Amino acid sequence: MEKLTIEKIYEIAEKIGEMIERGEPPLLEYPPASTSNIEFSEHEGYKFAPKYWSKILGSHIKSVKTLAGVIFALERCLDHMKSGLTMTKRDFYYLHKVEKFKGTLFPSDQRETDTRIVLLELITGLSREMLSITSDPRGEVYGDITLVDKSGNTIKLNKVGEMGYAVPPNPEHIKFKEINVKAVLAVEKVGPAKNMIELKIPDEYNIAIAMLHGQPSRSMRRFLRMISDKGVPIAVLVDLSPWSIRIASTVIYNSIHSAHIPGLATPTAKFIGIHSSDVEEGGFFEKVSKVALEPLTEEDLKCAKDNLSIPSLMGKTWIRENKWFLEKKKKAELEIFKAMIRKSSELKDLYIRYLNMKFEEHLNLSLKE
């Protein structure tokens, strides 16, 4: 992996260097992350399929700054990789905040260098994590999985504490040793996920639980894909809301925003709930859904409207769910399980019933077996 990255950097540097020495204004071509360069399919999710190319031309006053920024950044990335170090976006910004860049690459604010990072990804065809630029990681996994990560230690993900294993910023280095779960349940919110762990559901029913903490981080998405590539079914459990179908679809299909990064989609993952049918008549939550649903806020409604033009939400299920939001102007949250019970001793059974129903329906897998 790292070798590929280093080769790519040398290749670009060689090309630009030669042009400069020939007295030819250097030129870098790259496929912009415009919608026309992005394809979507249910089977692969978002895929980067460049048809159009943009140019960074060393003879244009506006382009030359970009060119210099890219070359400088490649040099710094190479240096960090050689030292085994990562940097954050803020680190990357600070690399430019030096005396000698006054009037040239000295950034007016971090947005400027953040944009450059996306450009680096497009030019190299690699993710920024591969170039050693990471962001704050987010998300933990709990369950009977054994792996070795960059730290070199062998880690059993149900033996690292009650929160589970904190997924590192760049999971590329992870090697799986043993996987003893029949599925991974990715849960949007920490609260319900934590309750399931407290109720020993992962231990007793042999599944792993991934806590997404809202919109999943790139590292969590990459981790889920890597474990899916090992043949483990992935189930996604989120709120019933316009935002949450985005979360589920991001796990499954990746997003337009990072469509140019390979390996972030998990197309075999299944969106198991909460579905609108669960709160409708005859649904699992029927008895509380009249009062426990929340009204959509202005922003929620705007989100549902915007969903109508998101390619990954064009499939039948997504359209049905989103239409429900627009019609009913309601949402339900995973906390609705708590509104279903009078005594907390009823909670475990409730979770099991729900998950078993959903696993059978979507993963063709019985939880109880």
Partner 1 sequence: MPRREEYVEISPSDFFYRNKDIAGFDNPVRATYMIVRELVENALDACDRAGRAGNIYVAFRGKGSGVFQVEVLDDGIGVPEDEIPKAFGKVLYSSKYVLRQSRGTFGLGGTMALLYGQITTHEPFEVCSSIGDGYAARYRLRIDIQNNKPIVERKQRIKVPPGATFTLVKLTFEGNYERAKGKILEYLKQTAIITPYINIVFRDPKGAIYVFPRATTKLPEEPKESKYHPYGVDVEVLKRLISETKTRNLVSFLSKSFQSMGRQTAIKVLKKARLDPEKNPRKLTDRELVKLVRALRSYDKFRAPDASCLSPVGEEALEKGIVKELRPEFVKVVQRPPSAYEGHPFIVEVGVAYGGGVPATGDIVLYRFANRIPLLYDAASDVAYKVIRKIDWSTYYVDPARTPMAVFVHICSTKIPFKTVGKEFIADKPEIAREIELGIRECARALRSYILKKIAKQRIVERYKIMRKYYEIISESLSEILGRRIDPTPVLKRIAKPAGEEVSENGEADNRENL
Interface with a copy of itself (CB under 8 A): 76, 79-80, 82-88, 90-91, 93-95, 97-99, 102, 106, 134, 136-137, 140, 149-151, 153, 155, 158-169, 189-191, 194-195, 197-199, 213, 288, 290-292, 294, 333, 335-336, 338-339, 343-345, 347
Q: Which of 2, 4, 7, 24 binds partner 1 (CB under 8 A)?
A: 24
**Residue for token pair 């590929």:** 4
Stretch that binds partner 1, among 102-110, 200-208, 209-217, 236-244 (CB under 8 A): 102-110
151 φ, ψ to 5°? -70, -15
Q: How far apart are the C-alpha atoms of 235 and 238, rounded to whole Å?
A: 10
Partner from a copy of itself, partner 1, none contacting 88, C-beta within 5 to 8 A by type: a copy of itself
- Is there a contact between 164 and 197 (Cβ–Cβ < 8 Å)? yes
126 binds partner 1 (CB under 8 A): no
Residue 91 or 114 having the CB closest to a copy of itself: 91
Q: Which of 64, 160, 339, 365 binds partner 1 (CB under 8 A)?
A: 64
Task: Please report how close the Cβ of residue 22 comes to partner 1 at its closest, in angstroms.
Answer: 7
Residue 110 or 277 having the CB closest to a copy of itself: 110
Q: 333: burial class by Cβ within 10 Å (0-12, 13-18, 19+)?
A: buried
Q: How far apart are the C-alpha atoms of 51 and 207, rounded to whole Å?
A: 42
74 binds partner 1 (CB under 8 A): yes
Partner from a copy of itself, partner 1, none contacting 85, C-beta within 5 to 8 A by type: a copy of itself
Q: How far is CA 285 from CA 247, 259, 362, in A?
A: 22, 36, 18
Q: How far apart are the C-alpha atoms of 106 and 111, rounded to whole Å?
A: 12
Q: How far apart are the C-alpha atoms of 190 and 220, rounded to whole Å?
A: 14
Q: How far apart are the C-alpha atoms of 40 and 136, rounded to whole Å?
A: 28
Residue 47 or 76 having the CB closest to a copy of itself: 76
Q: How far apart are the C-alpha atoms of 260 and 262, rounded to whole Å?
A: 6
- Is there a contact between 246 and 310 (Cβ–Cβ < 8 Å)? yes
Stretch that binds partner 1, among 11-19, 165-173, 226-234, 348-356 (CB under 8 A): 11-19
Binders of partner 1 in range 25-44 (CB under 8 A)? 25-26
Partner from a copy of itself, partner 1, none contacting 151, C-beta within 5 to 8 A by type: a copy of itself
Task: Please report how close the Cβ of residue 29 comes to a copy of itself at its closest, in angstroms.
Answer: 29
Q: How far apart are the C-alpha atoms of 40 and 46, rounded to whole Å?
A: 5
- Is there a contact between 25 and 59 (Cβ–Cβ < 8 Å)? yes
Indicate the helix (H) or strand (E) that contains 345: none
For the chain, give me the number of helices (H) and strands (E)? 14, 17
90 φ, ψ to 5°? -70, -40
Task: Please report how close the Cβ of residue 288 comes to partner 1 at its closest, in angstroms.
Answer: 18
Task: Please report how close the Cβ of residue 97 comes to partner 1 at its closest, in angstroms.
Answer: 15
Residue 35 or 154 having the CB closest to a copy of itself: 154
Binders of partner 1 in range 205-224 (CB under 8 A)? none
107 binds partner 1 (CB under 8 A): no
Residue 98 or 308 having the CB closest to partner 1: 98
Task: Please report how close the Cβ of residue 247 comes to partner 1 at its closest, in angstroms.
Answer: 36
Partner from a copy of itself, partner 1, none contacting 93, C-beta within 5 to 8 A by type: a copy of itself
